[in-house]
C-alpha cells in the first residue's frame, strides 16, 4: 500500500483525556512504518539500478575508446585502400570497356538472329492458324450435314412408325 507524506500529515487523530488516542497513533505508526519500508525497498532497488547503470556506463566508455581507436586505424586503412582501389578501378574500367564492346557486338548479332526467328515463327503461326481454321470449318460443315441427315432419318423413322402402328 503506497502512502504519501501528505496522507501522513493530514491523518486525523482524535484527542483523548491524556492526549491522542493510542489506537489511532498506533495505526498511524503502522502506516508510516509501511511507507518507510516501501521507501527503503524503492531506494534499495534504485541503488541497485544505479550500480548496474554505472557498470554499464563504464563498459560503454571502454567500448567507446576502443571504437575510437578502431575508427582511427580503419581510417588509415581506408586511405590506403582508396589509393589502391583507384588504380584497380582504372584497370577494371579499361577491361570493362573492352568487354562491353564485345557484349554489344554479340547482343546485336543475337538481336538480328532473334528478329529472324520471330519473323519465321509469325509466318509459321499464320500457317498453323489457317490450317486449324480449315479443319474447324470442315468439321463444322460435316456436323451440320450430319445433323440434317439425322433429322431426315428421324423424320423418316417417325413416318414409318406411323404406318406400322397396329
Answer yes or no: is 159 within a domain: no
Answer yes or no: is 149 within a domain: no
Answer yes or no: is 44 within a domain: yes
Mean of all residue pLDDT scores within the chain: 87
For the stretch 23-76, pLDDT in tens is 777 788 888 888 888 888 899 999 999 999 999 999 999 999 999 999 999 999
pLDDT of residue 46: 95
Answer yes or no: is 143 within a domain: no
Domain total in the chain:
1
For the stretch 95-122, pLDDT in tens is 999 999 999 999 999 999 999 999 999 9
Per the confidence metrics, is the pTM higher than 0.85?
A: no
The secondary structure of residue 17, as a DSSP letter, is T
Answer yes or no: is 132 within a domain: no
Answer yes or no: is 37 within a domain: yes
Answer yes or no: is 117 within a domain: yes
Where does the pLDDT of residue 84 fall: very low under 50, low under 70, confident under 90, or very high at 90 and above? very high
Stretch (H or E) spanning 73: helix 22-163
Answer yes or no: is 148 within a domain: no
> Which residues form the domain of 91?
5-121
- What's phi and psi for 18, nearest 5 deg? -100, 10
Task: Please tell me the distance from the alpha carbon of residue 18 to that of residue 25, in angstroms, as a whole number.
Answer: 13
Contact between 28 and 36 under an 8 Å Cβ cutoff? The reply is no
Amino acid at each position: 500500500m503506497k502512502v504519501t507524506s501528505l496522507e501522513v500529515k493530514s491523518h486525523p487523530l482524535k484527542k483523548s483525556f491524556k492526549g491522542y488516542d493510542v489506537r489511532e497513533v498506533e495505526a498511524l505508526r503502522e502506516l508510516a512504518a509501511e511507507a518507510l519500508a516501501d521507501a527503503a525497498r524503492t531506494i534499495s532497488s534504485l541503488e541497485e539500478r544505479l550500480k548496474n547503470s554505472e557498470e554499464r556506463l563504464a563498459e560503454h566508455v571502454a567500448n567507446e575508446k576502443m571504437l575510437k581507436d578502431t575508427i582511427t586505424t580503419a581510417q588509415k586503412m581506408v586511405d590506403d585502400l582508396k589509393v589502391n582501389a583507384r588504380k584497380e578501378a582504372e584497370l577494371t574500367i579499361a577491361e570493362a570497356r573492352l568487354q562491353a564492346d564485345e557484349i554489344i557486338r554479340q547482343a546485336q548479332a543475337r538481336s538480328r538472329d532473334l528478329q529472324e526467328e520471330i519473323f519465321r515463327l509469325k509466318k509459321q503461326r499464320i500457317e498453323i492458324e489457317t490450317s486449324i481454321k480449315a479443319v474447324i470449318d470442315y468439321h463444322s460443315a460435316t456436323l451440320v450435314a450430319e445433323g440434317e441427315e439425322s433429322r431426315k432419318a428421324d423424320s423418316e423413322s417417325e413416318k414409318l412408325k406411323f404406318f406400322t402402328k397396329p
